[in-house]
Amino acid sequence: MSFPLRIPHPKTTLHLYRHLLREASYLPTIARPYLESQIKQRFHHNQDTKDNNKQRIRQAHHDLRYLRAANAGDMDRMRRVLQHAFGRIGRRRRQLLESSMLAKAVLAPADSAELKEHIEQQRAIVLGERKEDWLDRWDLTKLAALLKSQAHANLSNSPKAAILNKKLNPAEAIPKTNSWGRPIAPKLARSKLRSWWRLMLVRVQPPIPRDEWEMLGDIVKGKTPLVTPARRALAANSSFSSDEVSGSSQDATSTKDEEWGWQSYATQRVADVDIQKNRRNKALSGMVDDTSPMGDPRPLNVHKFTARTWRRLLGTVWQLTSVMEKRPDGNGWQIEWGKLKWDAPKPTGMQLEFFEDAPAATDASKPARTRRNRRINNMNKSDE
């Protein structure tokens, strides 16, 4: 695979749509379905509307460059793409949160008991002389259990802020008195309670379906091989200039000025003019640096994807996912997070050669025989 990818940038909306689907097809099989459906849904939903089309097309071009950089080996961007696919950030996270944390009576009551409970809650709201708000639609008991479990799990590499154990009580967010020493008004107390839950909803990581969670765990543990399609080779006679690859040519300038662009070099710093060609940005921009005396340099933070690399990338995402099920006795929730079992690597035969003549291991419980310890022992013996 060449770095950066020398692929012409799409010129029409239809070509842009096809390029996005093609880049999504190079993603791992387990992460591909949601992203492909998202691309199709966004294009089909807005194909008959003309409002903000320029903004949507501009965002689609950005997403295409982002996917190309991720597939080319940019680890940080690929990790973020995987977080989108498994609902750790973005639209799917909000969908998972609503489908799992909304009260069942709001969605569809399963039986008469849930319907009766919902009616009692509505009656309590009316008797409390307040209007129903968005917080009444959420299952706060279930959400509090997930918050407590996530705080104890101590997630690493989370894209959201951490949830602290000492800040899990919503009652602490509501002061008992106001600045004048009077009891706080019920309306203000309700507003502060909503603000606290809104902050927790931003940080919480919703659970995913068990079959998807187990499939992801099997891939991370190496039990199931990961299928990643290879990129199709480009045509042999395809040669594109850096302007055609990045799609950055401007119609306002002449063809002669585009070939050299000496005006920019005469009025600006070279680093600013060639900012899209430097090693930090060329994986995203797709520009080719033809002026380097060492040839086109390799972009930074771009690595080759191997089976081990995929397991490590998916492992960071698996640690952020969980499954949440009702306990068999019906009391509380059983939550299980993805955890990687770390085993110390075993030394190879060549590494063991360095320790053949090493002395036997000493007992760490005995103090070391230093000059200071000998002096202390002699003083203790003299006192006796």
Per-residue pLDDT of the chain (384 residues; tens, 9 = 90+): 445 456 677 888 899 999 999 999 999 999 999 999 999 999 888 777 777 788 888 999 999 989 998 998 889 999 999 999 999 999 999 999 999 888 765 555 556 766 666 666 666 665 566 788 888 889 899 999 999 999 999 888 899 999 988 889 998 888 989 889 899 988 898 899 999 999 999 999 999 999 999 999 999 998 998 888 887 766 655 444 444 444 444 443 344 445 667 777 778 887 777 777 776 777 777 677 767 777 666 777 788 899 999 999 999 999 999 999 998 887 889 999 998 877 777 888 888 888 777 777 666 566 666 667 677 777 766 665
Would residue 89 be called left, alpha or beta, if left means φ above 0 and alpha means ψ between -120 and 50 degrees? beta
3-state helix, strand, coil in the chain (%, to 5): 55, 5, 45
What's the gap between Cα 41 and its chain centre? 22
In-domain check, residue 158 = yes
pTM, two decimal places: 0.75
CA dist., res. 242 & res. 132, Å (int): 58
Number of domains the chain contains: 1
In-domain check, residue 142 = yes
Residues sharing a CB contact under 8 Å with residue 232, sequence separation 6 or more, in sequence order: none
User: Cβ distance 180 to 170 under 8 Å?
Assistant: no
DSSP per-residue letters across 205-252: -----HHHHHHHHHHHHTSSPPP-PPPPPPPTT----HHHHHT---TT
In-domain check, residue 157 = yes
Q: Which of 88, 24, 17, 95 is nearest to 57 (CA)?
A: 17
In-domain check, residue 195 = yes
User: Cβ distance 220 to 314 under 8 Å?
Assistant: yes
Fill in the DSSP letter of residue 302.
B
Using DSSP, how many helices (H) and how many strands (E) does the chain show? 18, 2
User: Cβ distance 27 to 317 under 8 Å?
Assistant: no
In-domain check, residue 193 = yes
Angle between helix 75-85 and helix 53-72 axes, rounded to 10 deg: 120
Q: Which residues pair with 334 in a beta bridge?
A: 325
Q: Which of 6, 3, 4 is nearest to 234 (CA)?
A: 6
In-domain check, residue 365 = no
Fill in the DSSP letter of residue 361.
P
CA dist., res. 384 & res. 380, Å (int): 6
Q: Which residues pair with 337 in a beta bridge?
A: 322
In-domain check, residue 328 = no
Domain of residue 106, residue span: 102-209
Query: What is the tens place of the pLDDT at every residue in 176-204?
Result: 898 898 999 888 988 999 999 999 999 99
Angle between helix 13-24 and helix 53-72 axes, rounded to 10 deg: 30
Q: Which of 158, 15, 1 is nearest to 68 (CA)?
A: 1
Would residue 157 be called left, alpha or beta, if left means φ above 0 and alpha means ψ between -120 and 50 degrees? left
Would residue 124 be called left, alpha or beta, if left means φ above 0 and alpha means ψ between -120 and 50 degrees? alpha
User: Cβ distance 227 to 28 under 8 Å?
Assistant: yes
In-domain check, residue 363 = no
